[in-house]
Structure 1
Amino acid sequence: MKIKNIVKLSVLCFAFGNLSAQNPWPKTTETAKPWTRWWWMGSAVDEKGLDKQLTTLSNAGFGGVEIVPIYGAKGFESQYINYLSPEWMKMLQFTTDKAKSLKMGVDMAVGTGWPIGGPQVDEQDAATKMVVQTYTIQSNEKFSERIVLKDEKQKNLKTIKLDIVTAYNEKNEAVILTDKVSPDGTLNWKPTSGKWKIYAVFIGKTLQKVKRAAPGGDGYTLDHFSPDATKDYLKTFDTAFGNSNYGVRSFFNDSYEVYNADWTADFKDEFKKRRGYDLAPYIKYLVEDNESEIAGRIKSDYRETMSELIIDNFTENFTNWAHSKNSKNTNQAHGSPGNLLDLYAAVDIPESETFGSTPFDVVGLKRDSADIQKSDVPDINMLKFSSSAANVMGKKLISNETFTWLTEHFKTSWSQAKPEVEQVFLSGINHVFYHGTTYTPADVKFPGWLFYASTNFVPENSLWSHLTGLNSYVARTQSVLQSGKSDNELLIYWPIYDQWANPKGKDVAFKIHNIEKWLQPTEFYKNLDKLGKSGYSLDMVSDKMIGKAKLDNQNIQVSKEGGSYQVLIIPQLDYLPESTLKNILNLAQNGASIIFQNEPKNIPGFFESEKRKSDLQALWKSIPFQENGNLKLATFGKGKIILSSDVKKGLEYLKIEREKLTDTGLKFVRRQFDGGKFYYIVNHTSKEMNQNIPLNYIGKQVVLMNPENGDFGISEIQNNSVRIQLKSGESLIIKASENTDSSIPKWKYVEKTEAPIILNQNWQLTFKEGGPELPKSRTLTKLQPWTNFTEEPSTQSFSGTGIYTTTLNLKKKNADDYQLKFDKLYESAKVIVNRQDAGIVWSNPFEINVGKYLKKGKNTIQIEVSNLMANRISYMDQNKIQWRNYHEINFVNINYKPFDASNWKVQPSGLDGEIQLIPVYFSK
C-alpha cells in the first residue's frame, strides 16, 4: 500500500509540478470563456431562479452574462419587476454577487429591448426628425396658406418648432424667410418677380418607441445627437445606482436601430459651427434628390455633422458616464449614420454582430436552405470594422453578438456553430456573446421561456449537455486571442467621404443588413477581400485616426497601446480631405510607406471647396513621382509613396511579406506576445491537409496546440515551414516563440493508419433525459437512428439523449492510438469507453481518439447521442400543446412569420451508417 501511494504521489507531483513549464496555453479567464446575452422576460426573476441558472451556466462553461430585460410571458404579470426599481436593483445585486462567487462576470444593457430609450425620455429628448413641407408662391400673389405643421401625428406635440424657411426662384436664388413667419404661421413676405418654391423645415419627432421593451422600460427612443438628451437619460441610472456600479463590469448599448432620426434641435447651429457655413440657403439640396455636385457636397457635410454629433454627444458621454461608475462600456455602432471606426474607437469594448448563416466548404457540414435566412450572410470584412478600431487604438477586448438566427429555431447543432464562431475569431474578434439564453422560472414546463430570435442556448435544449464541447473550444481559442496584441501589418483607409458624397438620399446608415449596397460594391471592400485572401493582415483606419498617427521605427502607430503597421494603403477613391492628405504626407515625411491606388481628384464638402480642392492638388503635386515599371514611386522625406492601381504590386515592391499559407486555402489570424507570435489557423476547405505550411515567423521553437481538446506538442520544422495535419473543419493554434522549453513533448503526427475495425455487431439502444416520453429500449442488429422506428410514435417526437451500447473484443492493442470515427451523427455525442469519459464528439469531422481507454480483450463502448429539440416541438404543435405565449412579438420563425412546427419533417436522430475504430500510428 505504501509503495503504491508513493508512486501515485510522484505521478501527481510530476503532473502538477511541471504544469506551468509544460502547458503553453494562456490562462483561461472568465473573459476568455464565452458569455451569453441573458434575456429577463418581464424581469420576472427571483433569487432562487437566478442562483440556479447562473450555476447551470457556469457548469456549462460560460464566463459571464449580459442582462437584457425584454417583454414578458403572459400569465406571469404579477411577477414582473419594473426596470431599475428598488426590487430590480436588488435582483441585480444578487446576480452580481452570485456571479462573483462563481467567478463569472455580469454586463447589463442601459435600457430594455432596443434601441436605447424608455420612460425617462420625454418629448424634448426623443429621437428627432426633419419634417419638410413645400409651398409655391408667385409675385404679387396673396399667399393665403399658413406655414404650420400639417402632420396630424406631430401637431399636438409641444416641442414642434419651425426651424428653417427658404424660398428659391427659378434661377435657384435663395431667400431666407425663417424670421418672416409669424407665430401663427403667417408669411410676411411677397416676391417682387417670378415663381418661388418655399421649403419649410420643422423640428419633428420620429415617435418611435423602444422595441421589445420590458416593464418599466417603455417609452420614446433617444435623440442620440443631443448631449442634453444623453445626460438626461443617464440621470435615471445615477438615481438607481447611486455611487455604486452594483458589480456590473460593462454597460451595454445595442445596435443603432433608430428609424428616420435625421435631425436634432440645435442641428442648424452645430452645422454652421462645424462646417463653416449656414445650411439654410442650401436646404433644398439636402431634402431633395438632386444629382448636382452641390447636392453631393451639402449632403456630405450634413452626414459628417451627423457622425460627429453621435460620437461627441452620445458615445463619448456614454463612455465617460460608465467610467464614472468604475465600469466599462460596450457599444454596437453598426446601423448608425456615424463613422463606424470612430464610434467603435470611442468605447471600451467595441461590439459587432453576426446575423444569419455563412456557406462553408466543410465536409459534412449541415446547411439546409429551408432553415436559414435568405438575405443575411455574415461577412468577415464587416466584422473587421470593430476589430480594426480596437486593434488600432489598443483595446484589449472586441466583442460580438454571435449566432443570431444562425438557423431556424430548434434546428441548430453545435457543429453548425463552430465554423461561424471561427469566422468571428478570424476577423480579429476575441470576446463572443452567444445570442442567447432566456431566464426561465423553475416551474415553467418544457421548452421554458424562449426569445423570438434563435439560437437557443438554454438548459432546456436537448443538446445542452454537449455544449461544454463548443464552450471549451471557444475558451481555449479566446485565451490565445486575448493574449498579447494584434499583429496586423497593413492599414487601409476607409474612404467614407465617397459614401457621404452620394447625392441621393439624406442620412446614410451603415447597417449589417445592407452591406451589399454600401460596402461590397466598393473598391475598398474588394481590396479587403483580395488582400485578406492573399495572406495579408490588415486593419481599417479613419481620417481621425490618421490625424493622430505617428512613426515608431518607420512603422505607423495611432496609439501606443495599439498596433504598429508597415504601410498605409489609400484605396481607389474620389474624395479625400486635403487635411487627411496633409497628414498622410507628414507620415511619409517621417518615414512611413504609403500606397495610393489612384490620384485623389476632389475634396468633400461645400465650404471653400475650390480653394480646398486647389490645396489638395498642390499637395499631390508636391510628391516627386517617377516611373518605376508598373508603379510610380516617390521618395518623400524619410518615407516612400507608391502610386499603383494594383496594391499587391506596391506591397511586393516594399517587400511587405504576406503569409503564403493562405495559398492552401487555410485562413488565419495572428497575435504577437513578448518573445513570439500565435497563429490561429482554420481549415474551412473541403480538403484534408497533411503538409508543411510556410510561416513568416518561426522563432526558435514552434508548439502546436489543439483548441478542441487542449493537446499540444513541439512541431516539425523545415525551412521556415511547419508541418500540420488538418482535416476539413479542424483548427489549430501555432505558438512560435524565441523561448524553448524541453519539457514540452513532441506533437503526435499520424504516420499511418491500419484497416478500420467496423463496429457492426449488435447494439443496445436505451434512452435517458428528454421527452415527451422515453422510447422503449431495443436491440439493434444494424446501427441506425432511433427515428427509423416509425412504428413507435415516441421515437418520432422524442428530443433528448439515446444511449447506444456495444461490446468490442479487441484481440490485440498495439497501435499508438485508436480513433473512433462516426459516419453520421445526429447531432452530438458523449463517448464512454469502459466507464471512462472519453470526451464529446460535437463538430466536423465527427471523430475522437479513445486509445487510452481501450484494453486488450472485452471493451464496453457507450455513445450518448443527443438530438435537436425540433421533433419534440413539432409534436407539441401537432397536438396544439401551448408553449409560446408572450406579449409583443410572441414567437416567429426565421422569416418573421408566426411560428408553426406542426408540418416539419421528423429530423433524423441518433447514429447512422458505420462507426469505425481506426488503429493509428504516430511518427517517431
Structure 2
Amino acid sequence: MKSLSIQSLLLMFSSIILLFQFSCNTSEENEIVEYETAVDQWPEITKESKPWTRWWWMGSAVDKENIDYLLEEYERVGLGGVEIAPIYGAKGYEDRYLDFLSEEWIAVLNHTVSKASELNMGVDMTLGTGWPFGGPQVRMEHAASKMIVQEYEISEGQRDLEIVQRKRNEREPDAILINVIGTFKNGERKDLHDLRFGNVIENLPEDLEKVQALYFAKTEQKVKRAAPGGEGFTLDHFFKTAVNNYLESFDKAFDNAYPDIRSFYNDSFEVYGADFTADFLVEFEERRGYDLKMMLSELTDNTGDEKSIRVKSDYRETLHELLLENFTENWTAWAKAKGKKTKNQAHGSPGNLLDIYGAVDIPECETFGSSYFPIPGLRRDSADIRNVDPDPIMLKFASSAAHLTGKNLVSCETFTWLGEHFKSSFSQMKPELDQTFLAGINHVFYHGVTYSPQDVQFPGWLFYASLNLTQHNSLWEHFSEFNQYIARTQSVLQSGMPDNELLVYWPVYDVWANPKGMMELISVHHIDRWLHPTEFYKQSKQLMDLGYSVDFISDKMIAESDIKNGEIKTHENANTAKALIIPKVEFMPLETLEDILTLAKNGAKVIFQEKPRDIPGLQDLEEKREKFSTLWNETGLDKNTEVAWGKGKLIFSKNIASSLEKEEIHREGISETGLKFIKRKIGSDKYYFIVNHSANTINRKINFLTQSENAIIMNPLNGKMGLAKSQRDGKYLGVALHLEPGESLIVRTTNQKSEQIAGWGYHAAPISNIEINSDWKITFGPNGGPNLPKEQQMENLEPWTNQGDKDADFYSGRGTYSGSFEFELDQSLNYTLNFSSIHESAKVWINGKYAGQAWSLPYKLDVSEFLIQGKNDIKIEVANLMANHMRYLDINKIPWRNYHEINFVNIDYKPFDASSWDVMPSGLGGKLEIRGFKK
C-alpha cells in the first residue's frame, strides 16, 4: 500500500470537515449544532435567520392572486416567513370571507404554503382563529371551566338549607353542584351528600356551623377576535379529553393531509377565570395526597394563613401539571407525529413558565410597550407610549428554557404597542430589538403585517394593536435594510450554542405561595408583583450587570440535569454551566434540595444565598420538614461558608459575585464600560453581540474572557468586517472598540487567521469635519399621498414639513434631496457621512453610486469609496411615517376605520383619531457632515 502524501492527508481531512459542516447545515433548524466557520464570512443567511411576521388574515378574505403578490412583496423586502393568524374582517367585504377550515380555506392555505416554498419562505399557523384556542368544535363540556364556592353560615336552630346558585345575571347558565361540605363547631368537616335531597340539605346537625357548596361551572369565554367559522367557546386546556377532541377536529378537517407548514402556534394563555376542570378533584388527590374539597375554606381564604398558603400552592401546582401534561406536552407530541413543530407563549399561564416554554419546539416570548433608552436623539413622546416597560429578564424565561432543553430557536412577538399607530420608526425599533437579542432571542416575529389586497386603497386593512408594517406603509421601500440587519444578527445568534456560565434557580413555589386569590397567572403585565420584588430578580440582574451570563433553571430541569467534567449539563444538546445559584428562597421542595445535593456530589458547584426557609405543600408536611432540616444540617452550611460535597462544593454566601471570583468563575469585562452583551460559542471561537444603550460614546479597550488571540469586528448594519486591534492581558483578550450611543457590533474572538480580512476601520477621533452646504432641491414620489407636493428649494437642510405647503405637511411617502458639493479628497483617510437628524430613513447615492441607508442612531454611513476629488453629486431619498397622511384622513373625515368587533383603537384602547395630531417632521434637518479618520 502506498503511503499518503501530506497534501493528500490534508485534502482528505478538509473533505471530512466540509462533509461535517454540510451535515450540520442540513440538520433540523432548531437543533443546536456546533462547528467552526471561516472567519472572513458571515454565517449563512437562511429563512430562519430572516425576520418573520404574524400575518393577520382579516376575515380570511384571502385569494390566490393576492397571496402570490403579497408573499412576493414580503420576500422582496427580506421576510423569511409568515405566521398565519385568521381574525375578524373588514366590513363591506363579507362576500370574500372564507370560513375557517372550509374546503376553500384549506385550498388557499395549501396554495400559500406552496408559494412560500417557491420563494424559500416558511409558514407557521395558529391552530385556531383569534386567541386563545377554541371554536365551534369545542362543545360545552369541553369549554374552559371554573370553580364556584358558595358559603352559608348556619344559624342557631336552623333545620334545613336550600342551596341556590348566586348568579351575576339572568344570562349566566346553571352550574353543576358537585359537593356540599359542612364544617362543624369542633372543626371537623364532612361531605353532606347523605343529607342532600336535590339542592336542599335537610335535618341539619345541631353542631353544624358552616356549609360550602362547590360548583363546576363554565367561564363562557369565547374566542377573542375570531375569524368567520372560528367563533365558539374557549378550550379547557386542563382536560386531556377536551384537548384531544380539539386536535382531532383538525385531523378531520385536513383529512390528516396537512400542508408543509413548519409549526403550529399558540398565543399567550388568556383563558380568563379558567381555574378548574372536570376531573380536577380526582387529579388533585392523586397528585397531592389529600381531598381538596375538604380544604375549600383554606383555598378561598385571603388572610395569609399558613395552611391556606400551602393549599393554594398545591392547587396551583396541580393546575400547572395539568396544563403542562394535558395541553402543552400532549399538543407537542400530536404535532411531532405529523412532522410539525410547536411554537408557544407560556407567559400568562398558571404554571411554571420555564417548564411550559421548555415543552415545545420553539419557545416564544413577547415585547409589549416601549423601553426607555438614554440614547441622545431617540424620540420617545410620552403621549405615544403605554405605561409599561418591557423587561429583558422576563424575556429570558423563554430563552433559558430553550437553552436548557437543547433548542436553538427562541422567537419573540415583537413591537406589540411599541408606540401609537403610524408613529414608530426604525430608529425607535432598533434599541428595543437589540434588547430582545441581548435576552437570548434569535427568531424575531413582527406583530404584525396584515393581509391587505391590492384593490384596497391606503391605508389598507389594519389590525388594531400592531406595528402595521404593510405594503401601504411609507417606510415599506426602506424596510429591506432593516430586515437585513436582523438577518445578519440572527445568523450569528443562531450559530453554535449559548455560552452562559451560570444557572439561577427560579423559585416558582414562592410565586405559588401568593396568599391572595386562587389561580396565579404569571403574566408579562404583572412582573412588578411576581418578579421585580424577588431576590431571584435582584441577584440575576446584578450578576448580569457585573458581566456574567445566566440562564434560569426550574426544579424539573435540576432533576433532569447531570454533570460533565465538573460542570452542569441540563440536556445532551445544551451548554454546560459552571455553577448553580440558589437565591433567597421561601419555599423549596425536599426533592429539589435532594437533586441539588446530588449534582454537587457528582461535581457541581452550588452557591446558596440563604438557607431555604421552608418546604411547600401540605401533604406529609412535618415528615418532609424534618427530612429537609436533617439534610440541610448534614451539609454543614449553617457553620461553614463552604464545604466539599462529594466531587463538588457547596457555598453559603451573601455576596455571590465575590464567591464566583474566588472559585475562578470569572466575569466578562464588557459590562464594566456600560456596554451590554450576549455571547455564543462556535467550536473554540466565540461570538459577542454588543450594544451601547448608554448616553455615552465608548471608545476604549474592552476585556473579553477568552483564550483566543484575535478578534474580528463585524457590523450587522452593513455586513462589513475587519481585524480588531487586540492584545492579550492575562485571562482576557483586550479589544479596542468604538461604539456611539445606539450602535451595536459583533465581535468574534478566534485563533483563526485570514489574509482576506483587512484591519477594522475605527471612527474614533476625526481628523477633519466638513459640513456639506448645497442648494437643495426636494422632489416627491413616485408614490405616496394624499397628494404629491410641489418641488421645494432650500438653502439649508430642513424638513419638508412646516414650510407653508399643506400638501407637504399631509404627505407620507418619499422625498428626495438633491445637491452637490466641492470636496478635497485625502487618500490617507476614511470618511463617514453624518446626519444630525433623519425623519425617518435615508438612502444615499453619491456620484450615482448607492452608498447605503441610514435608519438608526447614530445616523452615519461609511462613504470612503464613493467620494471623489472636486465636485460630488449627492442624492438622499427620505421615507417618512404614515402619521401625516392618517392625520389628513381624520381631519377631512374620510372613512377608513370599518372593521367588525373592536374596529380600531389607539394605544390607550380608546377610539382612534389622528385629527388633533401635530404635523410629524419629515425629511432631513440640522447638519450634514463628512468626517475624516486615519485609516
Q: TM-score range by the shorter chain?
A: over 0.9
Q: Equivalent residues in 2 for 1:500-899 (5 A)?
A: 500-625=512-637, 632-718=641-727, 719=729, 720-750=733-763, 752-768=765-781, 769-790=783-804, 792-899=805-912
* Equivalent position amino acid for 2:929 in 1: Q
Q: Which residue of the other structure, out of 153, 177, 182, is the alignment partner of 2:192?
A: 177
Superposed CA deviations along residues 633-656 of structure 1, whole A, max 9, x for unmatched, are 111111110111222122122121
Q: Which residue of the other structure, out of 62, 78, 102, is the alignment partner of 2:119?
A: 102
Superposed CA deviations along residues 280-322 of structure 1, whole A, max 9, x for unmatched, are 2111110232321110111110000000000000001110111
* Equivalent position amino acid for 2:306 in 1: E
Counterpart Cα distance in 2 of 1:464 and 1:687: 32
Which residue of structure 1 lines up, in the alignment, with residue 491 of structure 2?
479
Counterpart Cα distance in 2 of 1:901 and 1:867: 16
Q: Which residue of the other structure, out of 114, 137, 156, is the alignment partner of 2:154?
A: 137
Which residue of structure 2 lines up, in the alignment, with residue 6 of structure 1?
none
- Deviation of 1:751 after TM superposition, in Å, equals 6.5
Superposed CA deviations along residues 828-849 of structure 1, whole A, max 9, x for unmatched, are 1110112211111100001111
Q: Which residue of the other structure, out of 54, 61, 69, is the alignment partner of 2:78?
A: 61
* Equivalent position amino acid for 2:177 in 1: L
Q: Equivalent residues in 2 for 1:113-512 (5 A)?
A: 113-138=130-155, 140-147=157-164, 150=167, 156-157=173-174, 160-178=175-193, 180-182=195-197, 184-193=198-207, 195-374=208-387, 376-512=388-524
Does residue 44 (structure 1) correspond to residue 53 (structure 2)? The answer is no
- Deviation of 1:156 after TM superposition, in Å, equals 4.2
State the secondary structure of the residue aligned to 2:919: coil
Change (3 A) 1:155 1:733: closer
- Deviation of 1:627 after TM superposition, in Å, equals 5.9
Which residue of structure 2 lines up, in the alignment, with residue 74 of structure 1?
91
User: What root-mean-square deviation, in Å, do the aligned CA atoms of Structure 1 and Structure 2 show?
Assistant: 1.5
- Deviation of 1:788 after TM superposition, in Å, equals 2.5
> Which stretch of the first structure deviates more once superposed, 139-148 or 573-582?
139-148
- Deviation of 1:576 after TM superposition, in Å, equals 0.8
Quick check: 1:271–1:278 contact (8 Å CA) kept in 2?
yes
Quick check: 1:147–1:200 contact (8 Å CA) kept in 2?
no
* Equivalent position amino acid for 2:423 in 1: K
Counterpart Cα distance in 2 of 1:185 and 1:92: 51
> Which stretch of the first structure deviates more once superposed, 575-584 or 695-704?
695-704
- Deviation of 1:154 after TM superposition, in Å, equals 7.3
Superposed CA deviations along residues 70-114 of structure 1, whole A, max 9, x for unmatched, are 000000000000111111111111111111111100001001111
Counterpart Cα distance in 2 of 1:109 and 1:253: 6
Which residue of structure 2 lines up, in the alignment, with residue 4 of structure 1?
none
- Deviation of 1:795 after TM superposition, in Å, equals 1.2
Counterpart Cα distance in 1 of 2:129 and 2:358: 24
- Deviation of 1:741 after TM superposition, in Å, equals 2.4
Counterpart Cα distance in 2 of 1:583 and 1:658: 27
Change (3 A) 1:139 1:176: farther
Change (3 A) 1:667 1:911: same
* Equivalent position amino acid for 1:714 in 2: L
Give the aligned length: 894
State the secondary structure of the residue aligned to 2:223: coil
Counterpart Cα distance in 2 of 1:909 and 1:152: 53
- Deviation of 1:189 after TM superposition, in Å, equals 4.8
- Deviation of 1:586 after TM superposition, in Å, equals 0.6
- Deviation of 1:153 after TM superposition, in Å, equals 5.6
Unaligned stretches of 5+ residues in structure 1:
1-19
Counterpart Cα distance in 1 of 2:203 and 2:337: 52
Counterpart Cα distance in 2 of 1:507 and 1:665: 40
> Which stretch of the first structure deviates more once superposed, 689-698 or 43-52?
689-698
State the secondary structure of the residue aligned to 2:524: coil
Counterpart Cα distance in 1 of 2:277 and 2:318: 11
Counterpart Cα distance in 2 of 1:165 and 1:660: 64
Counterpart Cα distance in 2 of 1:333 and 1:626: 38
- Deviation of 1:604 after TM superposition, in Å, equals 0.3
Counterpart Cα distance in 2 of 1:660 and 1:188: 76
* Equivalent position amino acid for 2:724 in 1: S
Quick check: 1:408–1:454 contact (8 Å CA) kept in 2?
no
* Equivalent position amino acid for 1:103 in 2: N
Quick check: 1:626–1:634 contact (8 Å CA) kept in 2?
no
Quick check: 1:148–1:185 contact (8 Å CA) kept in 2?
no
Quick check: 2:607–2:653 contact (8 Å CA) kept in 1?
yes
Counterpart Cα distance in 1 of 2:241 and 2:127: 17
Which residue of structure 1 lines up, in the alignment, with residue 22 of structure 2?
none
Quick check: 1:670–1:679 contact (8 Å CA) kept in 2?
yes
Counterpart Cα distance in 2 of 1:100 and 1:758: 49
Quick check: 1:55–1:102 contact (8 Å CA) kept in 2?
yes
* Equivalent position amino acid for 2:931 in 1: I
Superposed CA deviations along residues 668-723 of structure 1, whole A, max 9, x for unmatched, are 00101112111111111111122110010141332111111101111111222111
Unaligned stretches of 5+ residues in structure 2:
1-36
Quick check: 1:154–1:205 contact (8 Å CA) kept in 2?
no
Quick check: 1:164–1:202 contact (8 Å CA) kept in 2?
yes
Counterpart Cα distance in 2 of 1:221 and 1:499: 26
Counterpart Cα distance in 2 of 1:665 and 1:155: 56
Counterpart Cα distance in 2 of 1:364 and 1:469: 21
Quick check: 1:245–1:326 contact (8 Å CA) kept in 2?
no
- Deviation of 1:150 after TM superposition, in Å, equals 4.7
> Which stretch of the first structure deviates more once superposed, 794-803 or 805-814?
805-814
* Equivalent position amino acid for 2:833 in 1: L
- Deviation of 1:826 after TM superposition, in Å, equals 0.8
- Deviation of 1:149 after TM superposition, in Å, equals 6.3
Counterpart Cα distance in 2 of 1:487 and 1:275: 38
- Deviation of 1:818 after TM superposition, in Å, equals 2.1
Superposed CA deviations along residues 138-179 of structure 1, whole A, max 9, x for unmatched, are 46522142455656567645xx42223211234432122245
State the secondary structure of the residue aligned to 2:789: coil
> Which stretch of the first structure deviates more once superposed, 135-144 or 768-777?
135-144
- Deviation of 1:190 after TM superposition, in Å, equals 1.7
- Deviation of 1:577 after TM superposition, in Å, equals 0.6
Counterpart Cα distance in 2 of 1:752 and 1:921: 8
Counterpart Cα distance in 1 of 2:39 and 2:851: 22
Quick check: 1:251–1:329 contact (8 Å CA) kept in 2?
yes
Which residue of structure 2 lines up, in the alignment, with residue 13 of structure 1?
none
Superposed CA deviations along residues 110-139 of structure 1, whole A, max 9, x for unmatched, are 011111111111100100001121222246
How much identity, in percent, do the aligned residues show? 49
- Deviation of 1:502 after TM superposition, in Å, equals 2.3
Counterpart Cα distance in 2 of 1:86 and 1:171: 65
State the secondary structure of the residue aligned to 1:389: helix
Change (3 A) 1:763 1:865: same
> Which stretch of the first structure deviates more once superposed, 691-700 or 548-557?
691-700
Quick check: 2:715–2:744 contact (8 Å CA) kept in 1?
yes
Counterpart Cα distance in 1 of 2:221 and 2:847: 61
Superposed CA deviations along residues 716-748 of structure 1, whole A, max 9, x for unmatched, are 112221111111111111111233323322222
